[in-house]
Amino acid sequence: MRRVIISGGGTGGHIYPAITIARAIADIEPTEFLYVGSKIGLENTLIPKEGLPFVTLDVRGLERKISVRNLVTLGKTAGSLIKAEGIIRKFKPDVVIGTGGFVCGPVLLAASLSGVPTLIQEQNVIPGVTNTILSRFVNRVALGYEEAAARFKRKDILVYTGNPVRKDILTVTREEGRKALGLDPDKFTLLVAGGSRGARSINTAMIEVHKYFRNDEHIQILHVTGDHEYDRVVKQLPGIECRGRYGKGSRIIPYLHHMPEALAACDLAVYRAGAVGLAELTVRGVPSILIPYPYAAEDHQRYNAQALVMCGAAKMILDKMLTGRELLEEIIHLKDDPKALAAMAQASRSMGKPQAAHDIAELALSIARKRRR
């Protein structure tokens, strides 16, 4: 049986790809997994729910300045490297995979120093600090975007695979999605989501959009505000029903557990530009209006969005330029121009990589097999 260590932590953008890759490897051949995360990351909640064996390292990110905290962090990182070496020695993996986050640093470095095959998966156009450093040591780097290649020095280890998406994103039909969500099968459908915690700037801009379309019978809007933003949004929409229904077609909810159905059902999406979300949009061929999160590291969401814009798959509004009027005008323009929307959908689909998870899994297993020869 194959033995694989996977490490990725901090945010869902690092953890969900790791889970998807693990499932893809298990589909190819019997595998025993060990997930290595940080003590404080979101992985502490998500990974146990997946049933994956889970251990942690006490490691944190460095501040972008000289500080006492950085000295403490470096000390903990050195200790984590020793602990990671112990984990690898005990588990004896055939390959170690990293999907980003500071916890990957000691895990992948320890594996490389131990002669274990290593692979990192970089989701963004602008690589993270950890993956940039690790690229000097690992055997392969699986790129989510071709444009990221320019940021790495070792070109011979780069493989463009696209970003992995979970199976259920690919399998739901438009009809199934609309039926599951109670949406009209014939209306133009707009999906708005800013991530699990919500995006205040998007939610604020959407107030004007909801009011404009309040009496329009030809559009339905599914707006996912995020748990922390829901009450603030609904208080600004007089006449909203207790279940979040507003006007003839708006449905406003704090969280959605059926995102595959929503992506299958929609004609247009308003989104942030995180790598996982964009991968899901493109494999479904969904046109989008993207508002990149302005405080993402190295402004990487803007570069992610720009890749879709350059391909004709999306429009982009910078967060600092976003207003209700600006967003409304883009929505109206695309809603009333089916040809432009269809061209965007085709461009979006052309960027999608539905086989990415399988390809990354095969890439990881291929370097594991070479070690055993």
Give the model's pLDDT for residue 345. 98
Q: What is the CATH number of the domain that holds 194?
A: 3.40.50.2000
Whether residue 97 sits in one domain with residue 188 = no
Q: Which residue has the higher pLDDT, 224 or 243?
A: 224
Q: Report the pLDDT value the prediction gives residue 74, as an integer from 0 to 100.
A: 44
CB atoms within 10 A of CB 336: 10
Q: Has 11 been labeled as part of a binding site?
A: yes
Q: Does 79 lie in the same domain as 61?
A: yes
pLDDT at 61 over 60: no
Domain span at residue 127 reads: 1-164+352-369
Measured CA to CA in angstroms, residue 351 lies from 7, 248, 290, 302, 347 at distances of 27, 34, 15, 17, 7
pLDDT of residue 373: 53
The predicted-structure confidence for 68-98, as pLDDT tens digits, reads as follows 443 344 455 667 899 999 999 999 999 999 9
pLDDT in tens, 104-128: 999 999 999 999 999 999 999 999 8
- Asked whether residue 66 carries a pLDDT value surpassing 50, the answer given is no
What per-residue confidence (pLDDT) applies to 70?
35
| pLDDT tens digits for range 214-225 | 999 999 999 999
Model pLDDT, residue 340: 97
As for how many domains the chain has, the answer is 2
Q: Is 13 labeled as ligand-binding?
A: yes
Based on the fold, state whether residues 176 and 209 are members of the same structural domain: yes
59 and 122 assigned to the same domain: yes
For the cut 70, the answer to whether the pLDDT of residue 24 exceeds it is yes
Contacts of 231 (CB under 8 A, 6+ apart): none
Same domain, 20 and 142: yes
What's the confidence (pLDDT) of residue 41?
A: 85
- Same domain, yes or no: 228 and 301: yes
Instruction: Tell me if 196 is assigned to a ligand binding site.
Output: yes
Mean pLDDT across 350-372: 93
Q: Are residues 150 and 216 in the same domain?
A: no
pLDDT in tens, 259-303: 999 999 999 999 999 999 999 999 999 999 999 999 998 999 999
The structure tokens listed for 349 are 């689909």
The C-alpha atoms of residue 22 and residue 259 are separated, in whole angstroms, by: 21
| Per-residue confidence (pLDDT) for residue 80, from 0 to 100 | 87
Do 151 and 256 fall into the same domain?
no
- Does 124 carry a binding-site annotation? yes
Could you write out the DSSP letters of every residue in 156-198?
GGEEE------HHHHH--HHHHHHHHT--SSSEEEEEE--TT-
More confident residue, 61 or 343: 343
